[in-house]
Structure 1
Amino acid sequence: MAREFDLIVLGAGSGGLTVAQRAARYGARVGLLDPGPPGGTCVNLGCVPKKALWFAAQLAQAQALAGDYGFELTPGRLDWDRFRGLRDRYIEGIRERYAQRLGEVDVAWIGAAGRLVARDTVLAGDMQYRAPQVVIATGARPRRLPLPGFELGMVSDDVFSLSALPRSIGIVGGGYVAVEFACLLRALGCEVELLIRKQLLDGFDGELVQALAAQMRAQGIRITAESNVTGARGEPGALLLDDARGAAHGPYHSVLWAVGRVPNSDELGLGGIGVACDARGFIQVDAHQNTSVPGISAIGDVTACPALTPVAVSAGYALVERLLGGQPESQFDYRAIPTVVFAEPPLGKIGLTEREARARHGDAVRVYTKQFVPLQFAVAGHRVPTVMKLVCTGDDERVLGMHVLGPGVDEMLQGFALAMRQGLTRRELRSAVAIHPTSSEEMLLMH
């Protein structure tokens, strides 16, 4: 006999937790299935441990800057074991708080992977669970390639279990995961080579990406373009990467494969019940997160929507409001989503790149750019610039895109994203009162 619920959620990442808790607060009987700890990739193997490592990298660089300011100190290396302990205790605290919150709203936690055997029935082990509404929020995982020696390297999940900082590393990939790890590992003292097959940070503004690449090289990161890696060989501590042109790169102490992510959709039984996926395995959804099967919805990285934690959370919130909150037209607005690559320096964007804007609006697009050295660095005689770009359209110069490369961008862009969702124009930017002296004020003064 199946256990009955009003709603079943597959996946306890940020999106799944949002759906489960919000639905339970509306009085729904909710079953939440996941074989791993609550929090999913973001908390356990993604955003949170990555950002902690990024903060450590920032502190390493701050030591050098402090010396340039005149402080008497000798920059020291990170105590890796102490850092790991602090990070892991923090993450364990998040898990405990999630478990507590689920208990407070009576969400049934089922620590197992679920598989759909009917549109309203989930099988987990030898138990069946049934509900008229199922939400799939199983996320994604690092992509693995059928290349010789692939197993000699790591994927992003493995970085957080390292017992020591690698002396040198070859990173294969040009996306945000590759760039972030390249920058933070370099800041902590690792020798880094980044091997890119096509281009760096596809989807970000090309001009700012080029500026980031120049700053990465200035920090000592080797960037090898047009490198089609065909395999790895050697022994741990002395690894080589071969490419299609016959070149061998390395040797490296470690190798990191950062070659994309694949959706966790292949073990869900979707084909047997008619849930449509695209050629890459992402579940296809409409604007309301509906799949091709009534009663089954999907949110987050298991779909082809932007793979960002706040997107999954917001989409989940809107979905529950539609299903249970009396708002039948509720849906998440995917326009003007802010995102940041935690590189060194960080690169952020909201909305359209210049290329995307010109493809849609042609000659109506106007672009404003600015470069300046932030006061924090200029005082110490550093000349590394922050780069900003504003993409506008029409007679009122409505803002379509904001792009910033420089320190503080991760905290700077949130308010601008809210304004852009309300139809922000360049005139409104110019009329705002700036906080001085800050980098963000330069966004108001672009011409």
Structure 2
Amino acid sequence: MSNKFDLVVIGGGSGGLATARRAAGVYGARAAIVECGPIGGTCVNVGCVPKKVMWSAAAMAESIKQAPGYGFDVTSKPFNWPEFVAKRTAYIHRLNGIYFKNLENDKVTYFHGKGYVRKEDDLFLVDVRQEDGSVSTIKADRVVIATGSYPILPKTPGAELGITSNGFFELTEQPKTVLVVGAGYIGVELSGMLHALGSETHLMIRGDTVLRSFDEMIQTTITETYEKEGIKIHTEVTKPIALSQLDSGKTLASYVDKDGKASTLEVDKVIWAIGRAPHTRSIGLEEIGVKMDETGYIEVDKYQNTSVPNLYALGDVVKLVHLTPVAIAAGRRLVDRVFGGVKDRHLDYDNIPSAIFSHPEAGSVGLSEKAAIEKFGKDQVKVYKTKFNGMYYAVLEEKIPTAYKMVCVGPEEKVVGLHLVGDASAELIQGFGVAVKMGATKEDFDNTVAVHPTSAEEVVTLK
């Protein structure tokens, strides 16, 4: 078999797989995937998929807790973490098998190893390096870099005593006490799940609220709800957090609290959720002249072109929107243009819906209120919002809030942002995201008859 391909994708995550499969399966290109880790990448193995499975377990725990309010006399044993993790792992392994089968069906050649790219005249050479040191080389007319990202550790004493989100999915026992560090969606999701499943959960953040890249309504609603539900949020922790191992086996976190007082916290586990970095170093990109910023993100234009002709990049290695469906969509559009002849085909990165699997869920599409004011001016922005308790909580003593905000611009009140907090918000934002993407106005929402009784009807009856 020839080792020459029309396209070689380095990275077997969701974006890379979608790119190679579309090239081979739809357009008949000779395509190959190079991957050194589990097939499916972060999302399938240590990201979105196992996270959503864990979130579902946490949601089940909340439903059991709420069942007496609906007249059910429920008794349950404590959550069986090892048994559940075994089921979750088996599910992921089934998905890995399905991914391999899909590659086979679409006639994509798979190479296991770390890809290192070189140039030879008009061709790319991709060295596939095995753990034992052996190297095989394949040739390609075009290369896509889709190597994803990895969770980072802080440069503080004892940081290695903590784990990252990757380590979270390796836990075989549930920690009784846990400290999560980070205000982003990963920290918020992990802390919410652990709390719902019964761990005493601490969350340390640098500001006053979580999810600071989202609209203020989402920030404040989730922060206040987490505190009310019993998650211990330590705010304004701006100095480095040092870790040390205790004789008991527990971890001691030393930090400076918001009042400037030196404090300590003793927990079973510390989870760092302070950000991710692109997998772009030591794979040959610098040597062939690929432009990257100081943090390693590859510079691309709207067509995913890098500074090197016929070398493309997508997903978490570019400094755009880091979501699995975004990488998939970018890869498919790239292939449509390069192999399908669809001129000007590229991904529009505006108005991409996203969800946070917190407790309660949140969904967002478009601009926050603050971003809209910065872009259009305060006098051009009008905001509609509501906050209420969904009917599910009518007979429950515990009330989890629902809050919606619509951000409109101009005399026609075009909807440029929609932000939801509450049960099923992740599902709701998908449908409403279509409307925002199509340029719907407030009047379009008003003209849509409400479905009653639902929480979502409030979106089309905002006053």
The aligned amino acid for 1:400 is: V
The aligned amino acid for 2:253 is: L
Tell me the SS of whatever aligns to 1:340.
strand
TM-superposed CA distance for 1:187, in Å, is 0.3
* Whole-angstrom CA distance in 2 between matches of 1:178 and 1:231: 18
Among 380, 385, 389, the residue aligned to 1:373: 389
What residue number does 2:273 align with? 258
Among 220, 231, 237, the residue aligned to 2:242: 231
Deviation larger for 387-396 or 248-257: 248-257
* Whole-angstrom CA distance in 1 between matches of 2:394 and 2:76: 21
Among 99, 120, 124, the residue aligned to 2:124: 120
User: C-alpha offsets along residues 72-102 of structure 1, whole Å, 9 cap, x if unaligned?
Assistant: 1124321112211211111111111110111
* 2:213 corresponds to 1:203: yes
Report if the CA contact (8 A) 2:33-2:110 is conserved.
Answer: yes
Please list every run of 5 or more consecutive structure 2 residues that lacks an aligned counterpart in the other structure.
Answer: 130-134
Among 356, 381, 391, the residue aligned to 1:341: 356
TM-superposed CA distance for 1:237, in Å, is 4.0
Report if the CA contact (8 A) 1:231-1:241 is conserved.
Answer: yes
TM-superposed CA distance for 1:189, in Å, is 0.5
User: C-alpha offsets along residues 238-295 of structure 1, whole Å, 9 cap, x if unaligned?
Assistant: 2121225562331111101111000000121111111011121111111000011111
Tell me the SS of whatever aligns to 2:187.
helix
Q: What is the TM-score normalised by the length of structure 1?
A: 0.97
Q: CA RMSD in A?
A: 1.4
Report if the CA contact (8 A) 2:254-2:265 is conserved.
Answer: no
What residue number does 1:62 align with? 63
TM-superposed CA distance for 1:328, in Å, is 2.3
* Whole-angstrom CA distance in 1 between matches of 2:399 and 2:83: 34
What residue number does 2:81 align with? 80
> Once the two structures are aligned, what percentage of the paired residues are identical?
39
* Whole-angstrom CA distance in 1 between matches of 2:409 and 2:419: 15
* Whole-angstrom CA distance in 2 between matches of 1:203 and 1:240: 30
The aligned amino acid for 2:50 is: P
Q: What is the TM-score normalised by the length of structure 2?
A: 0.94
* Whole-angstrom CA distance in 2 between matches of 1:364 and 1:130: 54
> Closer, same or farther in 2 for the Cα pair 1:99/1:113, shift >3 Å?
same
What residue number does 1:159 align with? 168
* Whole-angstrom CA distance in 2 between matches of 1:237 and 1:24: 52
TM-superposed CA distance for 1:52, in Å, is 0.5
* 2:231 corresponds to 1:216: no
Please list every run of 5 or more consecutive structure 1 residues that lacks an aligned counterpart in the other structure.
Answer: none
What residue number does 2:322 align with? 307
* Whole-angstrom CA distance in 1 between matches of 2:86 and 2:172: 11
Among 133, 145, 163, the residue aligned to 2:142: 133
* Whole-angstrom CA distance in 2 between matches of 1:398 and 1:320: 33
What residue number does 1:444 align with? 460
What residue number does 1:9 align with? 9
The aligned amino acid for 1:23 is: A
Tell me the SS of whatever aligns to 1:273.
coil
* Whole-angstrom CA distance in 2 between matches of 1:385 and 1:173: 23
The aligned amino acid for 1:49 is: P
What residue number does 1:243 align with? 255
TM-superposed CA distance for 1:196, in Å, is 0.8
* Whole-angstrom CA distance in 2 between matches of 1:83 and 1:55: 11
Report if the CA contact (8 A) 1:2-1:127 is conserved.
Answer: no
* Whole-angstrom CA distance in 2 between matches of 1:323 and 1:337: 24
Report if the CA contact (8 A) 2:291-2:298 is conserved.
Answer: yes
The aligned amino acid for 1:229 is: P
The aligned amino acid for 1:216 is: Y
* Whole-angstrom CA distance in 2 between matches of 1:256 and 1:311: 26
* Whole-angstrom CA distance in 1 between matches of 2:176 and 2:399: 28
Report if the CA contact (8 A) 1:229-1:241 is conserved.
Answer: no
TM-superposed CA distance for 1:2, in Å, is 8.4
TM-superposed CA distance for 1:207, in Å, is 2.5
TM-superposed CA distance for 1:370, in Å, is 0.3
* Whole-angstrom CA distance in 1 between matches of 2:397 and 2:35: 52
* 2:445 corresponds to 1:429: yes
Report if the CA contact (8 A) 1:263-1:302 is conserved.
Answer: yes
What residue number does 1:186 align with? 195
* Whole-angstrom CA distance in 1 between matches of 2:140 and 2:401: 55
Among 369, 376, 392, the residue aligned to 2:408: 392
What residue number does 1:268 align with? 283
Moved segments of 4+, more than 4 Å: none
* Whole-angstrom CA distance in 1 between matches of 2:35 and 2:235: 39
Deviation larger for 303-312 or 69-78: 69-78
* 2:291 corresponds to 1:281: no
* Whole-angstrom CA distance in 2 between matches of 1:230 and 1:79: 31
* Whole-angstrom CA distance in 2 between matches of 1:332 and 1:96: 29
Report if the CA contact (8 A) 1:346-1:407 is conserved.
Answer: yes
What residue number does 2:376 align with? 361
Deviation larger for 81-90 or 323-332: 81-90
* Whole-angstrom CA distance in 1 between matches of 2:397 and 2:412: 39
Deviation larger for 310-319 or 243-252: 243-252
Tell me the SS of whatever aligns to 2:114.
coil
Among 171, 184, 187, the residue aligned to 2:180: 171
User: C-alpha offsets along residues 346-405 of structure 1, whole Å, 9 cap, x if unaligned?
Assistant: 111001000000001111110001011100012324333201000000111110000011
Report if the CA contact (8 A) 2:141-2:310 is conserved.
Answer: yes
* Whole-angstrom CA distance in 1 between matches of 2:202 and 2:90: 31
* Whole-angstrom CA distance in 1 between matches of 2:154 and 2:234: 20
Deviation larger for 103-112 or 379-388: 379-388
